[in-house]
Structure 1
Amino acid sequence: MGKYYCLIAGLPNIALDDSKLTYSISEFRQELDGILTKADKKLIDLFFLKFDNKNLIAHVKQPDRDPDPRGHITYDEFNALYKALKEEEKPPKNDRIPPYFKDFFKLYLENEGKENKQEIPWEDRLATLYYAYAMKNPNKFVGDWFSLNLNINNMLTAITCRKHGLDKAGYIVGDNEVAQALRTSNARDFGLGDTVDYLPDLGRIAEETDLMAREKKVDLLKWEWLEEHTFFKPFDIESIFAYLLKLEMIERWVTLDKVTGEKTFREIVGAMKKGSRITLNEFKAKLKK
């Protein structure tokens, strides 16, 4: 991994409450081209795989839909891999496609024709594979970041399920220690009080009735985590990765229509009270953005 003194020294200061974008995340990615080492570039690519996940699911549902340009894997590449696996041929060599996509397609083929019977949405299955892949990254900071996000999403989902009397076991994504505890424990702290130091903060955030404020508090918790975990790595790839993550948060808030956002969230929670599984999945999707 390299040291990026000039790059980081030249980056504008940013804050979560910024009302204008310094860079879009796509522009920042372009800024990094030709600067990062090959190994460090792979960490940035790992972040952007979330948009390839999104494109894959969208392509399955609407084959003619234009892909999100932030993803780099093309529909033709997805289709070539799927076709090879379906016909039990050797998949074409393609370093752009991570191994978890192959695992996803195999799982899909095993369940083809059983879509109405499978309980876990395909979005969640793909997310589980993505998180598992990312959390194994040899860069500890990056692996810990993905673990943090998985845990926050799962804990907020579990708290929401408990509040509305829904069975949380089917809504938890992943298989790490926190996910397993959330599925099985009925304790108030899910048995995680001694291992997850930010659980009390999440409990307070979950009580926030203004759902836009709640989302902002979640991002603030993540922002503070990034600050703490890059303090001693000011010119390393970890700080560049953190800057990208912060840009994503700002970009989301700058482009979010507050009125529309509040209306959508309240509709979701209102339907959740009626026990709607589909709506809970939509709610989880909002948390993952």
Structure 2
Amino acid sequence: MGKYYCLIAGLPNIALDDSKLTYSVCDFRQELDGVLTKADKKLIDLFFLKFDNKNLIAQAKQPDSDPDPRGRITYDEFNALLKALKEEEKPPKNDRMPPYFKEFFKLYLESEGKEDKQDVPWEDRLATLYYAYAMKNHNKFVADWFELNLNINNMLTAITCRKHGLDKAEYIVGDNEVAQALRTSNARDFGLGDTVDYLPDLQRIAEETDLMVREKKVDLLKWEWLEEHTFFKPFDIESVFAYLLKLEMIERWVTLDKGTGEKTFREIVGAMKKGSENALEEFKRNNDK
């Protein structure tokens, strides 16, 4: 891993309540392309894979839709991998294609023509594979960040399900210790009171009636986690990664308005009550910052 004294020293100071973007996450990625070591660049690419996930699902639902420009894997590359697996040929070499995409397509092909008894949305299956892949990363900070997000999303989902009388086991993603506890425990703290130190904060946040205030508090919790975990690594890749994450939070808030947030949340809860297969994906997208 490299040291990035000049890069980090030249970055503008940012805060969660900034009303304007210093520059976009795409702009920041372009700046990093010519600065980072090859190994560190892979960590940044790992973050952006979530937009490739989004494009993969979007292509399956609406093949003519425009891809999110933050993803770099093209529709043609998706199709080439799927075609090779379908015809039992060797997939084309593609360094940008993460291994879990191959696993995802195999699951998809195995399901064709069969009744899906699990009734698990494909968005959730892809998210599960993505988090599992990211949490195995050799960089502890990066792996811990992805597990933090998985846990926060799952815990907020479980609290929401409990509040609205839904079966939380149907909406929890992933297979780590926290996910398993959330699926099976009926305790108020889901049996996690001694292992997840930020659970009380999340429970208080979940009680916030103003949805936008609640979302901002979740981001603040994440922001403080980033500050704490990069304090002793001010010029390392961890601080570069954290700056990218902070930029994404600001970018989201600059483009989000209160009316949209409340309308979306009401639609999500309504869909969950009706058993919509898209409900959790929508809920996680609103909490996945």
- Which TM-score applies when normalising by structure 1? 0.96
Residues 237-265 of structure 1: per-residue CA shift (max 9 Å, x gap): 00000000000000000011222222222
Deviation at 1:278, TM superposition (A): 4.1
Deviation at 1:116, TM superposition (A): 6.1
**Alignment correspondent of 1:45:** 45
**Alignment correspondent of 1:188:** 188
- Contact kept, 8 Å, 2:120 with 2:277, in 1: the verdict is no
SS at match of 2:197: coil
List alignment gaps of at least 5 residues for structure 1.
none
Deviation at 1:164, TM superposition (A): 1.0
CA distance in 1, matches of 2:147, 2:277: 25
Q: How does 1:1-289 map to 2 (within 5 A)?
A: 1-114=1-114, 117-270=117-270, 272=272, 274-278=273-277, 280-281=279-280, 282-289=282-289
What amino acid is the match of 1:58? A
- Contact kept, 8 Å, 1:158 with 1:182, in 2: the verdict is yes
> What is the alpha-carbon root mean square deviation over aligned residues?
1.4
CA distance in 2, matches of 1:195, 1:47: 26
CA distance in 2, matches of 1:222, 1:122: 27
SS at match of 1:8: helix
What amino acid is the match of 1:239? S
CA distance in 2, matches of 1:177, 1:159: 17
Paired residues in the alignment total: 288
Distance change >3 Å, CA 285–CA 119, structure 1 → 2: farther
CA distance in 2, matches of 1:124, 1:91: 24
Distance change >3 Å, CA 115–CA 68, structure 1 → 2: farther
- Which TM-score applies when normalising by structure 2? 0.96
Deviation at 1:285, TM superposition (A): 3.0
SS at match of 1:260: helix
Report sequence identity in percent: 88
